[in-house]
Amino acid sequence: MLLKDEVQMLRRVPLLAGIDQTKLKLLAFTSDRVSFAPGEVLFNQGDPGDAAYVILTGKADILVNSSNGDGQIRVAEVEQNSLVGEIAILCDVSRTATVQASTPVEALRIRKDHFVKMLTDYPEMTIEVMRVLADRLSQTTTELTEARSLAKHSN
Of 44-48, 94-98, 149-153, where does mean pLDDT reach its minimum?
149-153
CB 88 within 8 A of CB 94: yes
What was the pLDDT predicted at 13?
A: 83
Residue 106 is assigned to a structural domain of this protein: yes
What was the pLDDT predicted at 39?
A: 97
Pairing of strands 51-57, 72-79: unpaired
Choice between 87 and 41, residue whose per-residue pLDDT is larger: 41
pLDDT exceeds 90 at position 44: yes
**Domain carrying residue 127:** 3-146
What was the pLDDT predicted at 61?
A: 96
Rounded to whole angstroms, the Cα distance separating 131 from 142 reads 16
Residue 152 is assigned to a structural domain of this protein: no
Residue 91 is assigned to a structural domain of this protein: yes
**Cβ-based neighbour number of residue 128 at 10 Å:** 20
Four-point Cα dihedral 39, 2, 82, 124, nearest 10: 150
Q: Where residue 137 sits, what CATH number does that domain have?
A: 2.60.120.10
pLDDT exceeds 80 at position 17: no
Q: How many domains does the chain have?
A: 1
| pLDDT confidence bin for 155, thresholds 50/70/90 | low
Choice between 53 and 10, residue whose per-residue pLDDT is larger: 53
Question: Per residue in 112-144, pLDDT tens?
Answer: 998 888 888 888 778 878 887 888 788 878 888
Question: Per residue in 52-99, pLDDT tens?
Answer: 999 999 999 999 998 887 889 898 899 998 889 988 888 888 998 999
What was the pLDDT predicted at 34?
A: 95
Nearest CA-CA partner of 13 in 42, 53, 51, 59:
53
pLDDT exceeds 70 at position 1: no
Residue 65 is assigned to a structural domain of this protein: yes
Residue 153 is assigned to a structural domain of this protein: no
